[in-house]
Amino acid sequence: MTNEHFDALVVGAGISGIGAGYHLRTTCPGRTYAILEARDDIGGTWDLFRYPGIRSDSDMYTLGYSFKPWKGPKAIADGWSILEYLRQTVNEHGIARQIRFGHRVKRASWSSEQARWTVEVERGERNEVVHFTCNFLFMCSGYYDYAQGYAPDFPGTERFAGRIVHPQKWPEAFDYAGKRVVVIGSGATAVTLVPAMATTAARVTMLQRSPTYIISLPGEDPIANWLRRRLPARVAYGITRWKNVLLALWFYRFCRRHPTRARALVTKWLRNDLGPDYDVGTHFNPRYNPWEQRLCLVPDSDLFKTMREGRASVVTDQIETFTEKGLKLRSGAELEADVIVTATGLNLRFLGGLEATLDGVRVDFAKTFNYKGMMFSDVPNLALAIGYTNASWTLKAELICRYVCRLLNHMAKTGTRQCTPRLRDPDLEPSPFLDLTSGYVQRAIHMFPKQGSKRPWKLHQNYALDLMMLRYGKVDDGVMEFSNPAIPVACQEEATGLVAAG
């Protein structure tokens, strides 16, 4: 069977893969591409997670695409509205017909002789193996394992008479009205679940081992809505987007440079929200400084309001064991529950689990260095769309999409078929890919590439710097090697077609 060939293959139809489709179509119009998606629908994160209250925890003016203004009234949007926005995007921009659902990418092997990837895919429920070839492989596969969320091995779970639920596998039409609920965890998912479940549950307790920084933002952005009423949608969106980018950048830098002042400020906001008698010191005073781990956002103080109304509470303690009736804690206290939600996080997964070989030799990505936050040392024609940890994902993912297009156009213009970031700097100091101390990062960071101490191997986590480097910086920067391996006779016709297409 002949393999289907594309100039670019995109893996994943979430925010990043759909963005990739848009930019490939508009910036590289002569190039062929397809999006391979393991699931049966678009949306990735925003389709997978179905727990009560699921919503963004960053504003939609920066989580939305640069090319499609977010017109919803809410800055912090629910999962359904985000999915609807993505559906509109694929339909409006002719991306839907490029997506192949039920295609799980397993392996990719690079042939230097042919300057192309052969991609092995399992298709459909029967896992039929099919192959594709492409010149450029663009992984938009997200950052976590879709099969399984993180669930620590708590003792005694088999004794618990109630129901244990993980947010990543929320049961359809699950009715918890009138039930006593314990949510284990205090990350973004837990702080979303608690007020949402408290609307019908008998009571909800958020059980945390240690506190997290939580700050409240208005669910609607009055400046954005004011601008939208007066200016064309694109102009208003652009201004709000930059306002939010700069505000987030400023706050992140403030937290990292002045941790004591930042801690005091966040504590003051919390006291305002929870009242002078609340024990902020025990439940909302983390061991780490602001932004050493991701900050949690809640819209319109919904979590704190629910707590003030007595419908939810926070317990800071550790689980000794599950019991028939609920949980026994290290302090000796017991929490009775009908439902226990393990909002204990995600398992990170690099490159959607892809196994890659270069001319038959397996690539160990943990030994590579990231290049411009998107490619890997000595690995040709492969990029990964990975977003920010301290700002909206889409800001960076879109910069990467555009850069991939620039690379493809540069290769077409110069008649080259291979681009490989080459690490030739002997003084480069390695450091972990992500500098967050969060458990989910620390559990998996050894599988990720390293970052270097200098450009272009350093990961910025800074939109303004990345904008300069990825949008306006040179693609032929002296580190990226553009080459044109000898073309075997059998491939000459197709390869000539590729160069001509640009």
Candidate segments 36-44, 171-179, 336-344, 440-448, binder of ligand FAD by CB under 6 A: 36-44
- Is 149 near ligand FAD (CB under 6 A)? no
Alpha helices in 103-145 (DSSP H): none
Among residues 160 and 440, whose Cβ is nearest to ligand FAD? 440
Cis, peptide link before residue 299, omega less than 30° from 0 = no
What distance in Å separates the CA atoms of residue 180 and residue 336, rounded to the nearest whole number? 7
Among residues 59 and 338, whose Cβ is nearest to ligand FAD? 59
Least spacing, CB of residue 178 vs ligand FAD, in Å: 26
What distance in Å separates the CA atoms of residue 83 and residue 407, rounded to the nearest whole number? 30
The type of residue at 149 is: G
* 13, 95, 224, 343: which one binds ligand FAD (CB under 6 A): 13
- Is 39 near ligand FAD (CB under 6 A)? yes
Site string for ligand FAD, 183-212 (x = CB under 6 A): -----xx-----------------------
Least spacing, CB of residue 177 vs ligand FAD, in Å: 23
Residues 307-346 within binding reach of ligand FAD (CB under 6 A): none
Residues 381-440 within binding reach of ligand FAD (CB under 6 A): 385, 387, 392-393, 397
Candidate segments 5-13, 204-212, 277-285, 482-490, binder of ligand FAD by CB under 6 A: 5-13
Of the candidates 347, 344, 350, the residue with the CA atom closest to the CA atom of residue 432: 350
Least spacing, CB of residue 169 vs ligand FAD, in Å: 13
- Is 133 near ligand FAD (CB under 6 A)? no
What distance in Å separates the CA atoms of residue 483 and residue 418, rounded to the nearest whole number? 5
Candidate segments 7-15, 172-180, 261-269, 285-293, binder of ligand FAD by CB under 6 A: 7-15
Least spacing, CB of residue 155 vs ligand FAD, in Å: 27
Among residues 99 and 411, whose Cβ is nearest to ligand FAD? 99
Token pair of 81, please? 């509205």
3-state SS assignment for residue 54: coil
* 64, 142, 211, 449: which one binds ligand FAD (CB under 6 A): 142
- Is 7 near ligand FAD (CB under 6 A)? no
CB proximity list for 65: less than 8 A, separation 6 or greater: 19, 22, 89, 394, 398
- Is 140 near ligand FAD (CB under 6 A)? yes
Distances (CA, A) of 145 to 11, 342, 344, 346, 350: 14, 16, 14, 7, 9
Least spacing, CB of residue 429 vs ligand FAD, in Å: 29
- Is 36 near ligand FAD (CB under 6 A)? yes
Among residues 36 and 95, whose Cβ is nearest to ligand FAD? 36
Of the candidates 189, 190, 185, 228, the residue with the CA atom closest to the CA atom of residue 210: 185
What distance in Å separates the CA atoms of residue 180 and residue 337, rounded to the nearest whole number? 5
Please, what is the end-to-end C-alpha distance for the chain in angstroms? 28
DSSP state of 144: B
The type of residue at 309 is: E
Token pair of 83, please? 């999915």
Least spacing, CB of residue 359 vs ligand FAD, in Å: 22
What distance in Å separates the CA atoms of residue 44 and residue 140, rounded to the nearest whole number? 10
Residue the block writes with tokens 């919390």: 270
- Is 132 near ligand FAD (CB under 6 A)? no
Angle 449-386-445 from CA coordinates, rounded to 5°? 35
Residue the block writes with tokens 């700069």: 246
Token pair of 197, please? 């479940």
CA dihedral of residues 82, 83, 85, 89 (deg, nearest 10): 140
In contact, 11 and 352? CB cutoff 8 Å? yes
- Is 16 near ligand FAD (CB under 6 A)? yes
Cis, peptide link before residue 290, omega less than 30° from 0 = no
Least spacing, CB of residue 15 vs ligand FAD, in Å: 4
Candidate segments 230-238, 252-260, 269-277, 350-358, binder of ligand FAD by CB under 6 A: 350-358
Least spacing, CB of residue 254 vs ligand FAD, in Å: 20
- Is 86 near ligand FAD (CB under 6 A)? no
- Is 37 near ligand FAD (CB under 6 A)? yes
Candidate segments 44-52, 156-164, 359-367, 440-448, binder of ligand FAD by CB under 6 A: 44-52
Distances (CA, A) of 488 to 214, 430, 484, 493: 59, 38, 12, 10
Among residues 49 and 150, whose Cβ is nearest to ligand FAD? 49
* 8, 24, 34, 38: which one binds ligand FAD (CB under 6 A): 38
* 10, 14, 75, 205: which one binds ligand FAD (CB under 6 A): 14
- Is 146 near ligand FAD (CB under 6 A)? yes
Q: At what angle do helices 79-92 and 15-27 cross, to 10 degrees?
A: 20
Using CB under 6 A, list all residues that contact ligand FAD: 11-17, 36-39, 44-45, 49, 56-58, 63, 104-105, 140-142, 146, 188-189, 352-354, 385, 387, 392-393, 397
